[in-house]
A and B are shown apart, each in its own frame.
Chain A
Amino acid sequence: MFGWSELVPAFPEILVLSMACVVLLVGLFTDKKKGGFIVFLSVITMMFAAILTLKDHVAGVEFTKTVIFNGTFIRDEFGDMLKVVVYLLMISVFFYAKQYLRQHDNLQGEYFALLLFATLGIMVMISGHNFIALYLGLELLALSSYALVAYNRNDLNGNEAAMKYFILGALASGMLLYGMSLIYGAVGTLQINEISQAIAGQNNDMFLVLGLIFVIVGIGFKLGAAPFHMWVPDVYEGAPTATTLFIASAPKIAAFALAVRILGQSLDVLMIHWQSMLATLAIVSIIVGNLFALQQTNLKRLFAYSTISHIGFMLLGLVGGAEGIAASMFYIIVYTIMAVGGFGMIVLLSNKGMEADQIADFKGLNQRSGWYAFLMLLLVASMAGFPPLIGFFSKLYVLKAVIDQGHIILAAVAVIFAVIGAFYYLKIIKVMYFEESETDQAIDASFDVKTVLSINALAQLGLLVLLPVLFQYCIRVTGSL
Chain B
Amino acid sequence: MIISPELFQQIIFYVFATFTIGSAMAVVTVKNTIYSALFLVLCFFNTAVLWLLIEAEFLAITLVLVYVGAVMVLFLFVVMMLDVKQAKASQLKQSYTKAALLIAAAMLVQLLILFAYKLSGEIPSNELVRQEQGYSNVAEVGMTLFTQYVYPFEIAAVILLVAIVAAIMLTMRKREGNKQMDASKQININPAERLRVVSMKAEKATTQAQSKEEES
Contact = CB atoms under 8 A, between A and B. Distances in A.
Please tell me the size bucket of the interface on B: 10 to 19
B151 A69 contact: yes
Contacts of B150: 69-70
Interface of A is mostly: helix
A136 B159 contact: yes
A133 B155 contact: yes
A117 B158 contact: yes
B162 A144 contact: yes
A317 B94 CA distance: 52
A124 interface: yes
A456 interface: no
B147 interface: yes
Contact of B155 (A108, A140, A151, A153): A140
Interface stretch (B48-56, B106-114, B164-172, B205-213): B164-172
Contact of B149 (A17, A24, A132, A140): A132
Contacts of B159: 136, 139-140, 143
Contact of A144 (B147, B166, B170): B166
B84 interface: no
B156 interface: yes
B170 A136 contact: no
A147 B170 CA distance: 7
B162 A114 contact: yes
A182 interface: no
Given A72-B152, A132-B149, A147 B158 contact: no
Contacts of A72: 149, 151-152
B173 A147 contact: no
A73 B149 CA distance: 11
B169 A108 contact: yes
A1 B162 contact: no
B30 interface: no
B137 to A, nearest CB: 21
A110 B165 contact: yes
Contacts of B162: 114, 117, 140, 143-144, 147
B166 A136 contact: no
A150 B152 contact: no
A73 B151 contact: yes
B148 interface: yes
Q: Is the interface on chain A under 10, 10 to 19, 20 to 34, or 35 or more residues?
A: 20 to 34
Contacts of A73: 151
Contact of A150 (B151, B158, B170): B170
Contacts of B161: 117
A153 B173 contact: yes
B163 interface: yes
A136 B156 contact: yes
A113 interface: yes
A38 B156 CA distance: 26
Contacts of B149: 70, 72, 132
A130 B153 CA distance: 13
Contact of B152 (A1, A136, A153): A136
Contacts of A108: 169
Interface string A125-156: 00000101100110110011011001101000
Contacts of B173: 153
A133 B150 CA distance: 10
A143 B166 contact: yes
A133 B151 contact: yes
A5 B156 CA distance: 23
A132 B166 contact: no
Contacts of A139: 159
A151 B170 CA distance: 7
A17 B158 contact: yes
A410 B215 CA distance: 111
A304 interface: no
Interface in B89-125: none
A10 to B, nearest CB: 8
Contact of B148 (A70, A110, A140, A143): A70
A147 B169 contact: yes
A422 B139 CA distance: 62
Interface in B157-202: 158-159, 161-163, 165-166, 168-170, 173
A120 interface: yes
Contact of A133 (B152, B165, B170): B152
Interface string B65-89: 0000000000000000000000000
Contact of B166 (A70, A130, A147): A147
Contacts of A153: 170, 173
A146 B166 contact: yes
Contacts of A151: 169
Given A136-B159, A140-B159, A1 B147 contact: yes
Nearest to A17: B158
A143 B150 CA distance: 21
B170 A70 contact: no
7 tightest A-B contacts by CB?
Answer: A147-B166, A69-B151, A136-B155, A72-B151, A110-B169, A132-B152, A70-B148
Interface of B: 147-152, 155-156, 158-159, 161-163, 165-166, 168-170, 173
Given A72-B149, A108-B169, 18 more contacts: A24-B165, A70-B149, A70-B150, A73-B151, A113-B165, A114-B165, A117-B162, A132-B149, A133-B152, A137-B155, A140-B155, A140-B162, A143-B159, A143-B162, A144-B162, A147-B162, A147-B165, A150-B170
20 contacts: A1-B147, A69-B151, A70-B148, A70-B149, A110-B169, A114-B169, A117-B158, A117-B162, A124-B155, A136-B155, A136-B159, A140-B155, A143-B163, A144-B162, A144-B166, A146-B166, A147-B162, A147-B169, A150-B170, A151-B169
